[in-house]
Every structure is written in C-alpha cells, then in structure tokens.
Structure 1
Amino acid sequence: MVRIFPPVALKILLSVASFLFFPGLALADASAPSPFRQALPGYAYSFPRDFGSHDDFRVEWWYYTGNLEEMDGSRAFGYQLTFFRVALEGAEKAVNPSRWKADPIYFAHLALSDLGGGSFHFFERINRKGLGLAGAEPDRLRVWNEDWTLDARGDKHVLKAREAGYGLDLELTPLKQPAFHGEDGVSRKGREPGNASHYFSFTRMQTQGTILIDGKEHKIRGTSWMDREFSSSEMDARQVGWDWFSIKLNDGREVMLYQLRLKDGGTEPFSSGSLVLEDGSVRHLALEDFTIVPTGRWTSKHTGTEYPSGWELSLKNPKVRLTVEPDLKDQELYNLRSISGTYWEGSVSVTGEYDGSPVAGKGYVELVGYGKALQPVLPE
C-alpha cells in the first residue's frame, strides 16, 4: 500500500519524480549553481562502496530485471524490482533535523509478468528517509523501502518484495564482473559536460528463489540483469524519452542499447550501448554502431498510449541482427504516484544471428515518454 503524504510533501515528491522521467519539469532555478556532484570522467569506482548510496549525487537507482521459469520449465515469468533515491538539496544544506523532512525521497517499483497466465501486475512504494521507512547504506549493498529489501549475502544479491498476494524472494549470483558503460563508466546523455551518469551493470546473474502470483508460490530459476546508476543531470530540453534494451544471448554475450528520442523526431547523438563478451570484457557502442527499428505498435487499453512493440536491432561490427518480441503485449506501468506518469517495461524474447551463427536470448525493454507530455496534478 502506498502511504499518503501531507500535501506539501506530496507536491515535492511528484515534482522530484517527474524530474526523473519527464523533461522540462525543473525543480529549482536552473541558473543557480548545483549543490550536487556531476558525473564526470575520472571517477574511481570502488566496491562494495559503489553499491551503496551516493548522497552527493541528486538521483540514483538500483535496478533489477529477470527472465525466470518454474523448475520444470512449465511456466515462465518476468520481473522488475527497482529502488530509487532522489535528493532535493545537497548534503551541505540538509540541516533540517525533523524526522518528517521529505528529503531524500525513496520510491520503488515492483512488476511481475506471469507469461504462462498472460497477466501483468505492478506495485509501488513511496517513503522518506527521516522516519526510517526507507533508506540505503552508504558503503555496502543494502536498500529498503519498508519491507521491500535489497541486501548482500556474500557476493549474492538478495531481493525481497511482497504486495497483495504478489511478490518475489530471489537470490542472484553474478556470473561476470561488473560491466562499465560509456567511457570508463561515464555514460553521456547529452551535449553539456556532466549531462551523464556513472553507470555499471551485472549483465548476467544466476537467479533462484520464489515468485508469488495471486497468493501461489512458484519455485523458479533463471537469469537476471542489474543496473546501477547515479547522476545529477536533467534530461536535455530537446529530449522526450528513451528506448532501452538489455539482452542476454544464449552464446554467453549480452547487449545493452539505449536511444534518447528528440522532440523533432530524431535521435540524440549521445545515445549508445555496450556489447559484453563471454569473458566479461566490454565494447562501447556509439550511435553509428547500431540501429533500432520498430516492427509493430501496441495501444494501451489503460491509457490510450501507443508504444512500439517488436524491434529489429542491428550491430555493424560484429555483424549482429536480432529480432526482439514482447513476451506479453501489456506490460505497462500506469497511474503511478511516484512518477506521476506511465511507462512500459517488459520481458522480451530474442532470435537472430551473430556473425552468421544463429542465436537466441531473453531480455527486458523499457519505453519512456510515449504518452502525452505529463504534468503532475499537485495538491495545494
């Protein structure tokens, strides 16, 4: 259940979360110097430190998706569990001692795709740090939003979340070293210096545990993908949204691609991706190295939003051609309070060729900004 904030706190929360997903909704005077650190070259990653919170950056997230099946292979599932932290003021300004202070804000999204049952279920949590209802440790992997939790157990990531008869209890083991995206883990998102994020992933994680669907527990196995990003930049005013792909191929390679869409119908030149090889080494992919072509459309019965549905992905070198199809058309998260908006995030299946050899795979796709330009309805 989503907790109800006092009107002022809710107004702040919706404004902050809209900053994450919708351009042009600035939180402060853009001409004022930012109290937050920018994602710039030269950052030295350190673990387990960089699993923890980064209070000198404005926003960060711990993002997990996975493609799962029952132990006998009889039923398939997908999941997303993401924890967000959003700060309103820089650490040096955080002098309000009140436990009710709405800074930082933590919110979380849980989504379960029951592919065998043909259904999709999603939930969210919104809380502040001050009351201890949500938070993240600064130097290790531990994040929580009430009883939705992310913890480390040795080298394993342990995810737990449950809501209204649905949930998950999963143990994830990385099978490769972290993959650093962009240039040395700095992923550019626009023209200005600092318009970027520090971005790394565990692109293949052995997964076991249980999924809860309509009150029934299913013992599962499969693979997951973890994204870790922290940043202080806003979307460029020219940008309206993005398409993001994470693909785990059955030959041991992984592909991450994202394209930022512009208002004029073009693509942001700083869109990019990564090809992760079997040994965990990473090849950076610039926009000119790949293409993303939609092959179909789907219109939501919930919101009327039209999304691309099905894609042809191509890499130039190595020569890769992949056909990506949603495992379930309706995997839309809508009427969310935490972002005052809608997005599509879902499990996909992949077939194609890699340098002339057939490949297949599973993955996830995220589509943001396809609805009308959303402004939060804020209580006075």
Structure 2
Amino acid sequence: MSFPRRFQTLAVLTFCLMLTACGDAPSNESPQPQPPPQDGFAGLGAHTEGFVQADASVSLVFPDDHGPHPNYRIEWWYLTANLEDSQGEPLGLQWTLFRQALMPPQKRPPPEPWSTDQVWMAHLGISQHATHVAAERFARSHSAQQYSQQRSQQRFQQQDQQQGQAGVVAAPFHAWIDDWSFRSPPDANFESFTLRAYSGEADARIGYDLTLRAEGPLVWHGENGFNAKTIQGQGSHYYSQPFLRIEGSVTLNGESRAVQGSGWLDREWSSQLLTAEQTGWDWFSLHLNDGRKLMAYRLRGGGENGTDYRFAHLFNADGQTELIGPDSVVLTPLATERVAERDIPTRWQLTLQDANLELIIEARHPNRWMPTTVPYWEGDVVVRNTPTQEQIGVGYLEMTGY
C-alpha cells in the first residue's frame, strides 16, 4: 500500500532538492521533461558532511554489500537488459532502485512510525523500435528498518521478509518498492533472481516478469572495488554482475511477449560521486560477441585542467581484467539528435588504445528519454567495429545532465 500522497510529494521534493537535478515541482500527473538547471547533476557532489566517504582501503564483503549502506549518501541497484522477442526483434529494458540518505547518521531521528531518513526512487523503462515507455515510484523509510552490512549472516537468513514500503535485504537478496520486486531465492548466493514490476492497466499496461541467472562472476571496478571519479581521487564503491542470462515476458502497451537475452546489474554507493564542477556523465555497459564485457564512461569535468575524466574496464568471459584505467580511453561524440528539447549524443566512437580496440556505438533509436522527476537518457545501443562496421555487440548507454 502506498503511503499518503502528501508524503509522496514530500519524498519527491526532498529527493530533488538533495540531487539539485529537477525542474518544476511534481504534480499528480507524470512530470514533463524540463530543461536541466545550470548545475545539472553537480548536486551529487554536495551535502557530504557527516556521511561516510567511499575509500579504497575498504574491501567489499559479500553478501553484506548486496544490501543497503545507509551511512553513505547515495546508492543504487541498476539493471539493464538487451533482449529479443520471439520474432527476433530487439527490446531493451531497465529497472533501477535508488536510495538517498536525507541526513548523516548522527542527525537521524529516532525510528518512530513516521520518522524518515531515507528516500527511495525506482524507475522502470522499456524500449522497442521507436516506442519508449517509463514509470516511476517513490517511497520513504528509516535506516533502522533496513538490514545494514554489519548484521550477521545468520540474522540475514532468519529474517527474509519485506518490511516497509521500500528497502533491500542482503541475504537472501531482496530489493523492493511497493509491489515491484527484485529478489534471489534462499541459498541462491546472488546467482539467480526474479524480477517483477508492472505499471498501468489495460492498453497502457507495461512491465515485465523475468528470471535471471548469473553465468559468470561478479566484477569489481577500480582499486579493490573503489572506482575513482576524478583526478582528486573521490569516487564510489562499485561492482557489477555483467553475466546475466534473462528469459521471461515483457508487457508493452498492454501486449505481452516472450523475451530472452543478456543483462547487466550495477551496484554502486558513495557520498560524493561528483565534484561541483562535474555536470553529468556518459556511461556505457557493453556485451561483445566474443564474450568480453566493457564498462566505460566519460564524466564531464574532473580531469586534468578541467578536461573530462574517463575510465574503462575491459574483462573477458571469466571476469579476468584485460584493461582497466583512464589513460588509454578516448570517448568522442560523433552525432547528436534533438530529444526532449535537448541535443543528445546518440553516436559515439570509443577507442581503447592499449587494447587495440576501436568501436562505434550508436543508439537503436534516439527516443529513449526518461521523462522522470530526475530526467536522463537511457537506452539500448549497437556496437560496431570501426574499421569494418561489422556489428560486434550490444549494450546500454546512460547520459545525464543534458
């Protein structure tokens, strides 16, 4: 059951104020795209006092780190998928649960029935051809209701139950907001999942019911799972499960279809993801036909002398790193499209000089704008070899701050 609309509105407003990334205040209708403010996503670099900072000296610990980290300011569980329906037509989808701490640990209110120190936001997206649809939900919680990473494994196993409107339990893994649910069965060890999320009714019904299975290991990005985002060194704890095999059904505009394909799950948490000078990012997760996976990004600002900060992680089918770091990464926009009254780069060249890899990455369709309260572009892409123009992979691209 959703909490009263006045609290929904409060959650939306609070989330937007903390991110400083919204346009007009939300209404009861789906928000329309608004021109981004001048500071774009720079709010992800503010309001850090009192929060725990991401640090390379902290090792990732599982299953604890599959769960929430309420002492850090921001966090997400982020799934994208490149699928095909029974006719062989490509289809893309996204499901994301975001957590935002409203105040540092020492300022939290006591855990009374209506006290809140965490706000949750979830996004659902489905794309096929020129069609792109999205849905959004908000919730609130108190961190005392969540199972933090300090709890014991025995405690996790004894209390696998949904408590509150939104939250995450580390083991058995369960992430939810209302009736949107992403979870592992008992003893699955973060290696298999079910995802169920729907919105709308009748011809406006959208959503999916999917089974996901890991066919490879977790991959840690950066040093010891700490991924720097600027030359100054601040960043996030970041790992991925890029080896997901997916099958199930997707409902688009009231019509259901069987699907199968590949998925990529990102897990990231931080208290200062960007500096105030960084206005957004261009983020790629790619499945190459030879079994390799590639994560690469360009953060606009944060590099030497005000240039962009770039990073790439290339790894093989066993999860073993072939290339990691910013030094050999060249990311260049080649073409833009006018989308939601913005100029959005929809064709890119990515060169990894040390890996002798030159790629052209292009959106299947420019209509992948997420008209959510915090708007951004998120969509499926095709990967081509630059010299031959042969398709050598698929993937997803996210662009923020435009």
Normalised-by-shorter TM-score class: 0.7 to 0.9
Matched with 2:223 is: 183
Alpha-carbon contact 1:2-1:124 (below 8 Å) kept: no
Alpha-carbon contact 1:23-1:234 (below 8 Å) kept: no
Given the two structures, how large is their TM-score scaled by the length of structure 2? 0.81
* One of 83, 95, 117 as aligned partner of 2:97: 83
Alpha-carbon contact 2:109-2:115 (below 8 Å) kept: no
Alpha-carbon contact 2:332-2:349 (below 8 Å) kept: yes
* C-alpha displacement of 1:93: 3.2
Matched with 1:290 is: 329
Alpha-carbon contact 1:59-1:232 (below 8 Å) kept: yes
Matched, 1:136 2:136: no
Give the distance between the partners of 1:27 and 1:295, measured in 2 at CA: 32
Give the distance between the partners of 1:282 and 1:55, measured in 2 at CA: 30
Matched, 1:68 2:83: yes
Matched with 1:378 is: none
Please give the per-residue CA displacement for 1:325-367, whole angstroms capped at 9, x wherever unaligned. 1111110012x22x3xx2111000111169x996611100011
Give the distance between the partners of 1:18 and 1:5, measured in 2 at CA: 21
Determine helix, strand or coil for the equivalent of 1:252. coil
Alpha-carbon contact 1:77-1:114 (below 8 Å) kept: yes
Note the residue ranges of structure 2 that are not aligned, 5 or more in a row.
23-39, 143-162
Alpha-carbon contact 1:173-1:205 (below 8 Å) kept: yes
Alpha-carbon contact 2:45-2:272 (below 8 Å) kept: no
Question: Aligned AA for 1:39?
Answer: A
Note the residue ranges of structure 1 that are not aligned, 5 or more in a row.
371-380
Q: Which is further off, 240-249 or 230-239?
A: 230-239
Alpha-carbon contact 2:275-2:302 (below 8 Å) kept: no
Determine helix, strand or coil for the equivalent of 1:309. strand
* One of 44, 63, 72 as aligned partner of 1:48: 63
Question: Aligned AA for 2:235?
Answer: A
Matched with 2:42 is: 23
How many residue pairs end up in the alignment? 354
* C-alpha displacement of 1:71: 3.3
Alpha-carbon contact 1:207-1:224 (below 8 Å) kept: yes
Matched, 1:221 2:260: yes
Given the two structures, how large is their TM-score scaled by the length of structure 1? 0.86
Give the distance between the partners of 1:149 and 1:111, measured in 2 at CA: 15
Question: Aligned AA for 1:277?
Answer: N
Alpha-carbon contact 1:159-1:170 (below 8 Å) kept: yes
Matched with 2:395 is: 363
* C-alpha displacement of 1:320: 0.7
Q: Tell me: CA distance 1:267–1:172, structure 2 relative to 1, closer, same or farther (3 Å).
A: farther
Alpha-carbon contact 1:82-1:109 (below 8 Å) kept: yes
User: 1:1-380 counterparts in 2 under 5 A?
Assistant: 4-6=5-7, 9-18=11-20, 22-24=41-43, 28=47, 34-73=49-88, 75-115=89-129, 118-129=130-141, 132-153=164-185, 154=188, 155-164=191-200, 165-193=205-233, 195-262=234-301, 267-269=307-309, 271-300=310-339, 303-334=340-371, 336-337=372-373, 339=374, 342-352=375-385, 360-370=392-402
Give the distance between the partners of 1:219 and 1:11, measured in 2 at CA: 38
Query: What RMSD in Å do the two structures reach over aligned CA positions?
Result: 2.6
* C-alpha displacement of 1:76: 1.9
Q: Which is further off, 306-315 or 2-11?
A: 2-11
Alpha-carbon contact 1:246-1:254 (below 8 Å) kept: yes
* C-alpha displacement of 1:19: 6.5
Identity level (%)? 31
Q: Tell me: CA distance 1:24–1:105, structure 2 relative to 1, closer, same or farther (3 Å).
A: closer
Determine helix, strand or coil for the equivalent of 1:50. helix
Alpha-carbon contact 1:326-1:349 (below 8 Å) kept: yes
Give the distance between the partners of 1:283 and 1:45, measured in 2 at CA: 21
